[in-house]
């Protein structure tokens, strides 16, 4: 029942800053934290190390993290705030109130004694249903049993070519390891991950009562079947081709084309009357149809069982949680589980996000921050307009359309105007923790399905206010900055403008540039997937984009593994655009005045150092390799070094010249926006 995620061009920056000042003020004098620097390294040698080496030394990687950076610090600060809010809730609140639901979910997650006593008992009824399933009834389990995530997912979202109306999407899913490359790649690391997955599958099978022989059978069956599926799934790079994934078909056509899938029965089980579906990968669903038709029923049952138990594992006894953690160790290299309170807070934070968000913004997000942020966004929009006007590779006709799209940006700051209603979600502490999670899965499934055929609600938020993140959504042409990123330490009211524009200013510019990256540029001002470019301009853009891909492809991230410039193209375009646009906005803010030198650093130097400090982090090699496979964002070191090597103002700021490692000859630079 797990849905494919709603298509959003990935939120540029995983976790970032707050309100910068809206104009130049001589009173704000605090510059860069000099302890962040490693002055033993010249900026022209390795700028990331120069800018962040001190931070990395002073903030060693905690055992519970595979990567820990400056924005992770903000996330942890916010999580501590949420814990304080949850602990302060009235444990005698009336049943059905948000307070009761949040408090009970947290308390159930903290009750390790009860969870360990229950063991696998909360799964028994559902496992019995799975064990008696026939080939034909597998589709019923997919449609109605919360926790089963096999073969595919469906979700409701804006029609990419008619962005005012919600439609149904059908997408590939169902791999326990998440990414197809873990199954298809025979590198030493992928083999290690698959072996860890096999051990995990055998462990959870044993925890639900399987004898050793049956546990081995389940592990073998699941890996064999998932490998068959993975071989036909789109790669993450292929998933960047929006047109290839837009394949509208009627349910009647799909039922004829994929009879073993029986999609009409799947929707009927959910009481949905669906006529048309957008299919993301017809090739993949041909394989799903064959698998459902020719695979032994016991193999299918083992596959569904593994998926279901994996979904439940984080909400069961310590034995299940430990098994889950051992797998994550193999994938990311993390050494230690997060403490129980963090995991427990994360559950209501995800399920009842806006309920907690209301409490969060009341205490931690002053209205003045929202006002200042709106002003700053306006400054960045003006600067991006200047960049569009000055492009030499784009025609006047396309520039006019780009300007229209920019002017039509819908800006969301802090929190939604209307809060989500959770009254239909029942949280009952007399039931096992996992059963309450299932209630939440069904609640969210129904919430999404209820939008089918209705007008798109452009005021709905796709993140909770306390989230440390930001996003651009192409189908609503919106940029969103939740209150969670608008907190110290990244915004400092005492900091000078160069620092704030280099941090939050770049974040804003980054999200705006997503509207014009390799994917976002394919949507018009109203959010429709439409071609508004001249052929010549599109060709020029693609040639520049290919140049940026080549730059990042040449980077070696670890061992002999290269970065994936095509997978990360959208984020790399947005990083560069954010830097350039924010720099212009900063210069505009000076109004011809001269900014001061602070701690021996010029304002230009502080701007670029502030950007680099956003990405200060320590990271494990396993996590580097994992992210290179699956993450559309480049690693922090390269978001800094590789991006800055295209920018002449950066070279000028630090006196970087030919012969320095950070220098890139002008003929080899790529500038898009």
The CATH number for 230's domain is 1.10.1380.10
SS3 32: coil
Q: What are phi and psi of 515, to 5 degrees?
A: -70, -10
Neighbours of 6 (CB within 10 A): 14
Query: Is the model's pLDDT at 431 over the cut of 60?
Result: yes
Residue that is last in its domain, among 263, 292, 315: 315
126 shares a domain with 76: no
566 shares a domain with 476: yes
Residue that is last in its domain, among 292, 315, 338: 315
187 shares a domain with 65: no
pLDDT in tens, 340-358: 999 999 999 999 999 999 9
Does 163 reside within a domain? yes
Query: Is the model's pLDDT at 496 over the cut of 80?
Result: yes
Does 442 reside within a domain? no
Does 576 reside within a domain? yes
401 shares a domain with 295: no
Answer yes or no: are the C-beta atoms of 615 and 636 closer than 8 Å. yes
Query: Is the model's pLDDT at 95 over the cut of 80?
Result: yes
The residue count of the chain comes to: 673
199 shares a domain with 76: no
74 shares a domain with 168: no
Give the model's confidence band at 22: pLDDT under 50 very low, under 70 low, under 90 confident, else very high. Answer: very low
Asked which of 62-76, 151-165, 421-435, 570-584 is least confident by mean pLDDT, the reply is 62-76
184 shares a domain with 78: no
Helix axes 569-590, 603-614, angle to 10 degrees: 150
**Annotated catalytic residue 231:** no
Query: Is the model's pLDDT at 317 over the cut of 60?
Result: yes
- Choose among 645, 637, 636: nearest CA to 670: 645
Region 454-483: what's the mean pLDDT? 96
In our burial notation (b when 16+ CB lie closer than 10 A, e otherwise), range 585-612 reads bbbbbeeeeebeebeebebbbbbbbbbb
390 shares a domain with 276: no
Does 176 reside within a domain? yes
Question: Percentage of residues in the chain with pLDDT exceeding 90?
Answer: 91
The CATH number for 509's domain is 3.40.390.10
Answer yes or no: are the C-beta atoms of 158 and 456 closer than 8 Å. yes
- Give the pLDDT confidence score for residue 29 in this predicted structure: 59
Instruction: Report how far apart the first and last C-alpha atoms of the chain are (Å, whole number).
Output: 41
- Give the pLDDT confidence score for residue 198 in this predicted structure: 98
pLDDT in tens, 561-572: 999 999 999 999
Q: Residue 335: which residues within 8 A CB-CB, separation 6 or more?
A: 63, 64, 329
Does 612 reside within a domain? yes
Instruction: Please state, in angstroms and rounded to a whole number, the distance separating the CA atoms of residues 439 and 105.
Output: 12
Query: Is the model's pLDDT at 310 over the cut of 60?
Result: yes
295 shares a domain with 170: yes
621 shares a domain with 499: yes
Q: Which of 511, 571, 604, 631 is catalytic?
A: 511
The conformation of residue 505, written as its DSSP 8-state character, comes to I
Q: Which of 518, 575, 622, 623 is catalytic?
A: 575
Region 282-305: what's the mean pLDDT? 97
Query: Is the model's pLDDT at 638 over the cut of 80?
Result: yes
Query: Is the model's pLDDT at 498 over the cut of 60?
Result: yes
133 shares a domain with 39: no
**Annotated catalytic residue 604:** no
Does 234 reside within a domain? yes
Answer yes or no: are the C-beta atoms of 354 and 444 closer than 8 Å. no
Q: What are phi and psi of 497, to 5 degrees?
A: -65, -35
- Give the pLDDT confidence score for residue 90 in this predicted structure: 96
Query: Is the model's pLDDT at 191 over the cut of 60?
Result: yes
DSSP output for 310-337:
HHHGGGS-HHHHHHHHHHHHHHH---SP
Does 309 reside within a domain? yes
Tokens (6 digits) for 436: 């309450």
Three-point CA angle 273, 275, 281, nearest 5°: 120
Give the model's confidence band at 16: pLDDT under 50 very low, under 70 low, under 90 confident, else very high. Answer: very low
Query: Is the model's pLDDT at 18 over the cut of 90?
Result: no
- Give the pLDDT confidence score for residue 11 in this predicted structure: 32
Q: Which domain holds residue 229?
A: 120-315
Residue that is last in its domain, among 270, 300, 315: 315
Instruction: Please state, in angstroms and rounded to a whole number, the distance separating the CA atoms of residues 377 and 391.
Output: 21
pLDDT in tens, 597-606: 999 999 999 9
Answer yes or no: are the C-beta atoms of 214 and 205 closer than 8 Å. yes
Instruction: Please state, in angstroms and rounded to a whole number, the distance separating the CA atoms of residues 519 and 497.
Output: 32
Does 26 reside within a domain? no
477 shares a domain with 403: yes
Q: How many domains does the chain have?
A: 2
DSSP output for 436-459:
HHHHHHHHHHHHHHTTTTSBP-TT
């Amino acid at each position: 029942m797990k849905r494919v995620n709603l298509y959003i061009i990935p939120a540029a920056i995983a976790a970032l800053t707050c309100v910068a000042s809206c104009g130049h003020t001589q009173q704000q004098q605090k510059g860069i934290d000099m302890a962040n620097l490693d002055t033993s390294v010249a900026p022209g040698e390795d700028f990331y190390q120069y800018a962040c080496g001190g931070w990395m030394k002073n903030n060693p990687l905690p055992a519970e993290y595979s990567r820990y950076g400056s924005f992770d610090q903000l996330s942890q600060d916010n999580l501590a705030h949420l814990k304080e809010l949850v602990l302060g809730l009235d444990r005698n609140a009336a049943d059905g109130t948000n307070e009761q639901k949040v408090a009970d979910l947290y308390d159930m997650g903290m009750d390790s004694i009860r969870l360990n006593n229950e063991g696998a008992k909360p799964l028994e009824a559902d496992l019995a249903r799975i064990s008696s399933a026939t080939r034909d009834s597998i589709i019923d389990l997919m449609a109605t049993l919360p926790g089963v995530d096999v073969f595919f997912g469906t979700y409701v979202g804006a029609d990419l070519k008619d962005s005012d109306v919600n439609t149904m999407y059908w997408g590939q899913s169902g791999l326990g390891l998440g990414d197809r490359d873990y199954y298809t790649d025979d590198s030493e690391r992928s083999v290690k991950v698959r072996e860890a997955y096999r051990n995990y599958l055998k462990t959870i099978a044993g925890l639900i009562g399987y004898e050793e022989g049956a546990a081995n059978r389940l592990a073998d069956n699941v890996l064999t079947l998932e490998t068959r599926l993975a071989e036909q799934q789109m790669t993450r790079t292929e998933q960047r081709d929006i047109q290839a994934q837009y394949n509208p078909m009627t349910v009647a056509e799909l039922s004829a084309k994929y009879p073993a899938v029986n999609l009409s029965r799947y929707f009927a089980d959910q009481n949905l009357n669906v006529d048309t579906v957008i299919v993301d990968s017809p090739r993949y669903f041909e394989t799903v149809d064959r698998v459902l038709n020719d695979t032994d029923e016991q193999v299918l049952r083992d596959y569904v069982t593994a998926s279901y138990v994996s979904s439940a594992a984080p909400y069961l006894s310590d034995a299940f949680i430990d098994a889950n953690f051992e797998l994550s160790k193999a994938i990311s290299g993390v050494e230690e589980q997060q403490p129980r309170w963090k995991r427990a807070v994360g559950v209501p934070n995800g399920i009842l996000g806006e309920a907690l968000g209301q409490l969060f913004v009341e205490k931690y997000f002053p209205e003045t921050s929202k006002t200042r942020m709106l002003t700053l966004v306006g400054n960045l929009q003006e600067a991006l307009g200047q960049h569009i006007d000055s492009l030499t590779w784009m025609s006047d006709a396309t520039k006019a359309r780009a300007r229209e799209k920019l002017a039509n940006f819908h800006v969301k700051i802090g929190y939604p105007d209307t809060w989500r209603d959770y009254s239909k979600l029942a949280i009952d502490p007399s039931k096992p923790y996992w059963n309450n999670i299932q209630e939440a899965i069904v609640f969210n499934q129904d919430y999404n399905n209820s939008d089918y055929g209705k007008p798109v609600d452009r005021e709905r938020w796709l993140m909770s206010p306390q989230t440390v993140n930001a996003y651009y959504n192409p189908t609503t042409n919106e940029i969103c900055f939740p209150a969670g990123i608008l907190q110290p330490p990244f915004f400092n009211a005492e900091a000078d403008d160069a620092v704030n524009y280099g941090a939050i200013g770049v974040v804003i510019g980054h999200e705006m540039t997503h509207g014009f990256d390799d994917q976002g540029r394919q949507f018009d001002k109203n959010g429709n997937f439409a071609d508004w470019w001249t052929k010549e301009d599109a060709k020029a853009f693609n040639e520049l984009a290919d140049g940026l891909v080549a730059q990042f492809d040449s980077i070696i991230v670890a061992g002999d593994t290269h970065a994936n410039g095509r997978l990360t193209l959208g984020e790399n375009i947005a990083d560069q655009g954010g830097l350039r646009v924010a720099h212009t906005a900063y210069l505009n803010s000076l109004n011809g005045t001269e900014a001061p030198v602070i701690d021996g650093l010029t304002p230009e130097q502080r701007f670029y150092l502030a950007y680099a400090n956003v990405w200060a982090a320590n990271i494990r090699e396993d996590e580097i390799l994992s992210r290179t496979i699956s993450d559309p964002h480049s690693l922090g070191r390269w978001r800094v070094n590789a991006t800055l090597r295209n920018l002449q103002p950066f070279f000028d700021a630090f006196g970087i010249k030919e012969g320095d490692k950070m220098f890139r000859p002008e003929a080899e630079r790529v500038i898009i926006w």
